Amino acid sequence: MARVLRSKDLRVATLCFVVALVLRVALVLAIERPSFGFNDAFFYHSFGQSLAEGDGYVRVDGTPTAQWPPGWGFMLSLVYRFTDSSPLSGELLNAVFGALTVPLLFVVARRAFGRAEAAVAAAWLAVLPGPILWSDVLFSETFYTFVVVAFFALLAVLPTRWWAVVLLGVAVGLAALVRGEGLFLALPALAYWYRQAPLRTWVARAAVLGGAMVLTIAPWTIRNAVRLDSFAPVSSNVGATLWAGHNPTAYGGPTYFVDYDRFGNDTVKRETESSKYLRAEALDYMIHHPFRELQLIPLKLVHMNRGDAEVLELVNSAGPGDEPPLDRFQEIRLEVVANVGYYGLLTLTVVAVALLRRRLWRQPLTRAALVTIITALVLYGFLYFGSYRYRFPLEPLMILVSAPLVTGVWRNRRSIESAARGLGGG
């Protein structure tokens, strides 16, 4: 233990964590939001309040719901029990989870490549503007990003034992209870085990992983069946999310169905019936408009890769009649910094995949990261719709993929400089 405490790895990871935490807490304390805008932050806050007060997972009007997965609301409720439901405490919790993601990424990169790549990855995530800005928003994105990287850290450190496969299945189930797409974390696990064992063992691991995942989400699924009289394994917003990407007004980004009055005044029935209706409408549109569906794919990918400045719309939101916390000049400066940070990361990721694709695919952890990114591109480039929110949890994995390119350029900088001078002289 003493050897671990004295290790350079621990010192570097701790330093990156401290930097990340200071930056995130500073932002949270600097931005004073007078009230919530009418967005997901308001709903997650209200869920945290109702759980902390013992009222269960209910809407503001007291009716049960499964519109959003319960994981983030539950985490908020834990701190709200001790802070009188203060939104600031929830934002500080966000900052802590955002900072904890940094040393977890260090562990993953250290196992995948080495100390230099791990230091680059951790430092990069610590100061990347987008994740810092997300800390000040009570959405589930920061916590889910922590969960995703924690899952990769488990892949990196757990032995290849059956109890570890069960633990990973539980982790996938818990991730799904934070964000529904967490179910797809089973795919990077399968990619990680690819060719590490005979096919028969690989299939057995997949079955055990899936079983543990199903058993983990089963209590919540049963709760939804009892309280809502509907089958909603994780949440009831799948229909609305699917419809948003497949309807006559679809344009690649989010669209919203507004005619909910057709489902009556019963809140619970409106939630469940609208989900079924919208799912059927979306599937019907997909079948009967194949050429429009093809046109929407690049539009969705563009919307998915809009810069991190988009989160400032949420950071700078406030309730009706209240002044936003940032003036326009402050907002513009942060927009520039955030977009430079994300588009720089995107460029390096594309270059890294193009140049190092074989090395990245041979390494189990980066192969799993690539599968996660590809899965997201399919989900939000075709199945649902494109949004920077859905892409944000991929940023640590993009850093992981790009880190060996950065360290490789640094190690070979003299050769690169010599080659550049030679080309210039010629």
In a domain, 422, yes or no: no
Query: How many other β-carbons are positioned within 10 Å of the β-carbon of residue 106?
Result: 29
pLDDT given at position 1: 43
Mean pLDDT, range 62-91, rounded to an integer? 92
Structural domain including 24 reads 2-410
Distance, in Å, from the CA atom of 43 to the CA atom of 73, rounded to the nearest integer, reads: 9
In a domain, 343, yes or no: yes
Reported as a single tens digit per residue, the pLDDT across 142-201 is 999 999 999 999 999 999 899 999 999 999 999 999 999 999 999 999 999 998 889 999
Which residues are within 8 A (CB) of 251 and not within 5 positions of it... i.e. 6 or more apart?
Answer: 296, 299
In a domain, residue 421? The reply is: no
- Give dist(CA 311, CA 298) in Å, integer: 22
Percent of the chain with pLDDT over 70: 96
Q: Which of 27, 5, 3 is nearest to 312 (CA)?
A: 27
- Band (420; pLDDT cuts 50, 70, 90): low
pLDDT band at 6 (very low <50, low <70, confident <90, very high): low
In a 3-state reduction of DSSP, which class is residue 64?
strand
- pTM for the complete prediction? 0.95
pLDDT digits (tens, 9 = 90+) for 353-408: 999 999 999 999 999 999 999 999 999 999 999 999 999 999 999 999 999 999 99
Handedness of CA 182, 186, 192, 194 (dihedral sign): negative
Residue 387 CA to residue 324 CA, distance in Å, equals 23
- Domain membership flag for residue 26: yes
Give pLDDT, residue 2.
47
Question: How crowded is the C-beta side of 44, counted as CA atoms within 13 Å?
Answer: 26
Give the phi and the psi of residue 74 in degrees, each rounded to 5.
-65, -45
> pLDDT band for position 3 (50/70/90)?
low
Helix axes 87-112, 71-83, angle to 10 degrees: 130
251, HSE (Cβ side, Cα atoms, 13 Å):
5
What total of structural domains would you count in the chain?
A: 1
Q: How many residues does the chain have?
A: 426
Average pLDDT of the chain is 92
Examine residue 150 and state whether it is found in any structural domain, yes or no. yes
Could you report the per-residue pLDDT of 232-250, keeping only the tens digit for each?
899 999 999 999 999 999 9
- Domain assignment present for 415: no
Rounded to whole angstroms, the Cα distance separating 260 from 255 reads 14
The pLDDT of residue 425 is: 59
Q: Is residue 378 part of a domain?
A: yes
143 with 97: CB under 8 angstroms?
A: yes
Residue 422 reports pLDDT greater than 90: no
DSSP letters spanning 336-380: HHHHHHHHHHHHHHHHHHHHHHHHHHHSHHHHHHHHHHHHHHHII
